[in-house]
Structures are given as C-alpha cells and as structure tokens.
Structure 1
Amino acid sequence: MRSFKNLRIIKDEIGVFLIVWFGQLISLIGSSLTSFALGVWVYQRTGSVTQFSLILLSAMLPSILISPVAGALVDRWNRRWCIILSDSGAGITTVAMALLLTTGNLEIWHIYLAVSLSSVCKAFQLPAYTASTSLLVPKEHLPRASGMVQSGEACAQLISPLLAGFLLGIVQLEGVILIDFATFLFALTTLLLVRFPDAKTAAVPVVNGKASLWREALEGWTYITVRPGLLALLIVFAINNFVFGLIEVLFPPLVLSFTSVTVLGTIQSLGGAGMLLGSVVMSIWGGPRTLIRGVFGFAFLSQLCILALGLRADAALFALAFFLFFFSLPFINGWCDAILLRKVAPDIQGRVFATINMICWSCIPVAYVVAGPLTERIFEPLMATNGLLAGSIGQIIGVGPGRGIGLLFITMEILAIGVTVAVYRYPRLRFVERELPDAI
C-alpha cells in the first residue's frame, strides 16, 4: 500500500515539473522574440554595432554582478514565489517598453535600462528554477529533466529568430513585445496553479548577532571549493562558456569571409536543430550510468567540431561541425546540472548554482573582449597572403580573410583539449559521482 502511495506522489511531482517546464518554455520563447526584435530595432535606427553590443552587455552584466546575493536570497525564500516574482518583474519591464513604444517615447537608454532590469530578474529566476528541479523530480530522473530544460533553450534558439523576423513584418515591434508579455502571463498562470514540495530553509550565518547576507552569498563558492570534484566540474563549465563566447563573436565573420549571408543563416539554423535534437535524445535516454564520462565524451566531440572549423573554408564541413557542436551542448550542460542537483544539498543549491552562473557567464564577455584584438591584431595578419605564417601553416589551412580566425579556433581548441584531458585525469573529478554522497 505504501509503495502505491509513493508512486502516486512521484507521479504528481513529475506532473508539477512538466507544468512548470512548459510555462517557462513558452516564456523563454517570448523573451527571445523580444531580444531579437529589440536588437534589430536598435541596429536599424543607429547603424551602430557598438550600440547593439551594449544591449548584449546589458543583458548579461547585471546578472553576473548580482548572482551571489540572488543565490543567497533564493535559498532563504520560497522558490516557487521567487520564480513568480522574477517572471512578474520581467513582465513589468516588458509592459513599460510597450507603453513607451506606443506613445513614441522609447529611447535607446530605455532599452538598456529595461534589459538590465530583466537581467536582474533572471539572476533570481534561473537558480530558483534550476534548484526547484531536485524538489520536483526523483533523482534517478534528473538527467532527463535536465535534458528537458536544455530543450527549452534549444527551442528558443531555433524558433525565435525565424518567428521574430516574420512577426516584425506583420505586427511590428509593439506586437512582438505584447506577445512576449502574453507568454509571461502564461508562465505566471502555470506557477500559480501548482504547489512545490516544502524545502528545507538554509541556515543564515550570523556575525556579531546579525544575519550576514554577504557571508551567506560566499557560501556557494566555499561549498564548491572544499569539494575538488565539483570545482573541476566548474572548470569544464567555464571552458565551454568561453569557447561559446568566441564562437558567438567570430563564427559569422568566419563564414562570411567565403560565402553568403543565406548560407550563414542556414548553418546557424542547423546548429539550433542540432541542439534541439540533442535535448530530445537526452530527455528520452537520460544518460549513461556514469554521467561524468558522458560529459567529457561530448566535451571532446564539441572541441573537435570547433577544431574542424579552422581546417578549411567549406560550407558543408561548417554545417556538419556546427550541427554536432550544438548537438553535444545539451549533454554537457544537462549532465553537469544533474550531477550538481544530486550532489549539492537542496538548501544551498540556489547559492551554488548562482555562483556557477556568475563564473561561467563572466567567461562570455571576456571572450567578447579578447576575440576582436586577437583576430585583428595577431591571427589575421599572420595568415594574410604575405603574412608570417602564410608559407607554413597557410599551406595547410589556406591564407586570406578568415584564415586568421581559423588558426585562432585551432590554437584555442588544442589548448582546450589539453586542459580537458588534464582535468579528466584528476581522480576527484573522474570519481566525483562515487566519492561524493548524494544529497537528495
């Protein structure tokens, strides 16, 4: 009798996760629609790449800066209400932009402010959403649940640019923003309809008789550093995010150096399709018995794909490599999340995931900053027709525009593969699933 009751509880909790996941999926697609449409709107009115880049920075920097404090507060608060309030805050900024746009008063700085406020909301929403997964899903199903979360990101990447471009021609930016707001309302409704299981509240550090939020915020970093296996796993996350940042900046000019915008769009769409397929496969399969082996197997595959991009300027090769690269990402990110959800105590998951988000997101703007100077001042001149390496490496990978980026990709991936192999040889990481007890 008890076994049937436990089975019903598990089924009910997975049902709650599916409802929350679907609501957040719809909201993510809406947010991606607005992000794409705002970028187009700003670029069309200013013609400035710098202005466009500042939107990307505004969407990322506030989350990075506030993540440690946000994670501490997420562990103090009810996670369901934390997601509700975060979604509501992002929805309010969306409405404010719609009103300004309708009245003809929307300025560029309004967009920077709104995107920054949404970024702050995301700093609370993401660790609360991730940490809630361990409350709603039995630990044996966490890899599949992580795969479903990854599939939401893949759907947004694949659908939103195409859909936003179509909607901009029909309903204009005002209509896209209103659709985004409708997706926020849908996500909010799904959260109001469900209840989360009670979670143990984190103990609050006390200094001189007063609660210390800052010390509590640092506990996420402390929790990771005293567990070397988790720290090494964080290094894997950071490497992959840095690589992704470089690709985001340098892949379009690399492709456009030898082919058309249409081919670039096709290749990027194939990347989104690869990510979606990988997420679906992971959601169905769940993963191998030892997840960490799968993480490094797919990390190695993704690095070989980027290495291949540097070998020759060939659209078919790029399409295959880009597809496989994005196919591998859900397995790397999803299985890392599943390991952390199993090994990190639920009452501190908000702080741990916020710390991981802060460090890994920080790698992306670093990649943005170094990509241009490395390419324009070092690698492209080396691979020019009369460049220093034209007679040696240039005989293998070619010379001219774009070949410097290709050499940068090859150099970067040789280093990344070396670091990945070295990290995997570290026993604390290789046996992290066996040595660290499950916390749930």
Structure 2
Amino acid sequence: MHLVDSLGPYSEDQVLAVSTRLRAEGFAPEVVSEALTQSRLRTAGAEKFGEFASRMLFTQTGLEQATRMQVSALHAQRFVDADITSVADLGCGIGADSMALAGLGLSVVAVERDHTTAAVATVNLMPFPNAQVVAGDAQAIDWDSVPGGRPHSLWLDPARRTDDRPRSASSQRIFDPEAFSPPLSFVQELAATGIPMGVKMGPGMPHSAIPADCEAQWVSHRGDVVEVVLWFNALARPGVRRAALVLHDDATRQELTSATEFPDLAEEPDHVDSPPTSEDHGAPEADGHGHFPQVIPGCVLWEPHGAVIRAGLVQEVGQRLGARLIHPRIAYLVGPAGGELVSGTGGTASSWGFARGYRIREVLPHTVKVLKTWVKANRVGTLEIKKRGTDVTPEQLRKQLKPSGPNRATLIVTRMATPEGERRVVLVADPLPSSHSAE
C-alpha cells in the first residue's frame, strides 16, 4: 500500500520512467507492475469514488462493476430510512456498497466468493470497524457462523460477467438473469422468506424478468442509466411498482413513480436507438385519440431520460408535457411551443429533469445531399447528431456532411408517423436551456 500511495496520479507517458526508477530502487518487476496497475485503477476510480479512490485498492472487473459513490449512498439511505441496523452484502465485490452502508452506521457483513476480490474489499473496508469481510459463496454461507449473527437485511449485486477468461482479457457481460451469480431464482427464494432486501441489476433487465412482488427502481447518474434496483419486502415502498430516479450533477435528484404494472411491450416505445424492425414495417398507427403528432417548426421535441424509458414511463411524461409520441415505437415526444408542464411539478418542463427539450427549427428530408447543402449554407462547423429509431451512425454521417464554419447546430435523425405512413426526417433543433447539466 505504501508503494502505491507514493506513486500519485497515474500518467501513461510517465510509466516507463517510473518503472525504471522503481526497479533501480530494488523493487521486483512483478511488484512494480502491480503497483502501477493499482495507480492506474485508482486514477480511473476517481470518477466513481472521488477522493476516496486514492486510498482504495481495485481489480479491473471490480472497478467496472462497482456502484458509483453517490448511487451507493442512496442505497444505504434506503436501509437507514427503514430502521434497519444490520445488512449482509452478498457478492460485495471491492466493497463499494458496503462502504456506503457502513458509513451510515449499519453493521455490515460483506460476502465475496473470489478470494482476491475479498482481500481487496477487506482493505477498502478497514476504516469501518462495523464492517467485516467473509470469503465464501453467498449461496452456501452458514449464517450461524457469520460474525454478529444472522443479518436483518440483505443487499445483493449479482455478478453479470463471465469468469472464464484470461487475466488480461476484458470481461464479457451476460444478460440471462439465471446465469448471474447468484441467479435470479436464488434472489426470489430469499425474498420469499420476507427478509428486507435490495438487488442491483443491469439497467437493460427486461420487464418480463422482473419479479411481481418487488419495486423496480431505475437509477441514472450524470446522464447514464446505471442500474435497476429490485426492492423487496420492507424496503419496497407501498404503492410504487416502478420508478425512474434521476441524479443530477448539481447533487439534486428527481423521481417519477407509478403504482401500475409495466405496460404491454407492444404499447411502449423502444428504449434503444435501434433501426426499424420487421414489426415496424407498414403505416404507423395514430395515438389513442386518433391523432398523429404535429411536427413543425416551433414545436418542442422532448427526449425522455433513459431511466424514464427503461421504467416504461414515457407515456406518463407525455401526459404531463401535453406531448405525443413522434412514432408509436420511438421514444421521442412532440409538444406545443410553450414548453410548460400540463400537470405535476410547477415551472417549465425544461427544468423538470425527466426529459430534454429541443425547439424544432426546421424539418428536413432524410437525404445526405440535402443535409450537406444545409450544413454548408448555414456555415456549421460544430455539429451534434442525435438519432433514435434509425440505423444511422452519427460519426459516419458527420464525416459525410463535412461541417466547416463558425456556427453550431443539432440534428435529430428519426422517423415520424403521418397519416400517409412512416416518414424519415432530420430535425434541426435548438436545445432548450436546462437547470440540470446532465440533461
């Protein structure tokens, strides 16, 4: 630890010089290599852990899977609010959530199957006397032998990466909940005992795989959808089935919740920027009122936050904005020029935080020739290209358009529904001012 602490921030162009110096000082090559690896991981870890990273140890996979500090603090607060005093962190990894739980005064038993990772977690939890690490399999642990006795609650972060890979290779994500470690069926067995528990899962978890007896909360941080947490029993909020929690750069947070079940897949817009599928061919249907959205200059295009889309709450956002889907399968909403909320929170929708607003300036046909002419005529040198529901690659399109000049522009490439059928368009749009930098 002392050697790693002495290295300071990692700099790629200084690696050779530092390595040569340390070897000259008598350190073995493998020790130098491990120290430099920890220095690199600490520097990368500052994005998730801030100044705490400078005193932590990491593994590459552990850092990739670790919960961001601001997010883990929210997890821990949920346990505190439920008057829980002890928790077992099953599959603790490098100890990110255990640190947050212990930091709020809970008694923590952190369980980790991989012995190297367990050793790393032990170091990271050394500042917390109320936290202990147990090396073992969460599915086979003998609770009678655990320090402090049987815990009052559980936190699980199932591993979602393969272990059978070379040490130097990047880990590979897996998506079948039954292939997780521990699997989702084990999670449900624990939940059936009535013990309060929270389970961190990947944000892409399909709605069909989410158990019926839990609250599902999608969380975003700095514009990224980072997880969905399944809250069971006493940790689940009454009347909340699904939720989208948005954490902003300015430390504020906003949440949209619903007591209803997840919408039918056929009625919910896609949450990925996918090209048209076989199900999308043919004329799109109008909305439930028999109307097609009006997409003309002066209207506002709303881009719901990723957590909102994942939670199946796009329609709820549209109702509050007085906006309609631009296409039944695409998560863009079009609303009137005013930008005011119809219901819910007061104020302008651009500061609401659940959708990013763009005022439409022009509606252009989806052809490279027209777009290239427009970019040249408007002397656009800085070009942001957004897309949804199309197979366009923004980087490739930007090269084709050859932007050059002093002006900036935002192009939104998408599909829209019209009475005549589906139409591919490019919207020239100006971002509305927002009080949240992540939106």
What is the TM-score normalised by the length of structure 2? Answer: 0.21
Larger helix percent: 1
The structure in which a higher percent of residues are strand is 2
Larger Rg: 2
